[in-house]
Structure 1
Amino acid sequence: MASEEIQIKTDYITLGQFLKLTNVVESGGMVKLFLSEYPVFVNDSQDQRRGKKLYPGDSISIPEVGTYTVTRENA
């Protein structure tokens, strides 16, 4: 499965913001529920923290949803 690149303009993005940006969840209120029911792997380690900071180069894998790579948008 190909990795989809997600560009950010800031130094980092939280896992909760990332899930909304990628349309995995529709609202911030759904993030906690999603993370409690679905495994999310950041750089091959499972992480369920909404506030986990994701930086350019980080790889996020959500089984049955997709694989993503965080990249920095060029100014």
Structure 2
Amino acid sequence: MQTIDFELDRDFVELNQLLKLAGLCDSGGAGKQLVASGAVRVDGVPEQRKTAKIRAGQRVRVGDVEIQVTGTGG
């Protein structure tokens, strides 16, 4: 499994934007489609909210790629 460390520079990032910023899709719209397909899990639970707020300490998984979100935010 590939792990991507993503450091937040604010309180949260929307899920579709995180997928774009981490390089798993080309745009926020493509990120929304990826979430809608059911392929995205947040902390091990399937996530259907395209703009779910992802905060430091959470893990987002798409296939064999896991994004580990770190940072203090703000």
- Whole-Å separation in 2 of the counterparts to 1:45 and 1:38: 10
Alignment match, 1:36: 36
Question: Would the aligned equivalents of 2:11 and 2:72 in 1 still touch at CA under 8 Å?
Answer: no
* Secondary structure of the structure 2 residue equivalent to 1:68: strand
Alignment match, 1:67: 66
Aligned pair 1:24/2:1, yes or no? no
Q: TM-score, normalised by structure 2?
A: 0.83
Deviation at 1:3, TM superposition (A): 2.6
CA RMSD between the two structures: 2.1
Alignment match, 1:55: 55
Aligned pair 1:46/2:46, yes or no? yes
Determine which structure has more spread, i.e. the larger CA radius of gyration. Answer: 1
Alignment match, 1:13: 13
Q: TM-score, normalised by structure 1?
A: 0.82
Structure 1's unaligned 5+ residue stretches are: none
* Secondary structure of the structure 2 residue equivalent to 1:20: helix
Question: Would the aligned equivalents of 1:39 and 1:48 in 2 still touch at CA under 8 Å?
Answer: no
Structure 2's unaligned 5+ residue stretches are: none
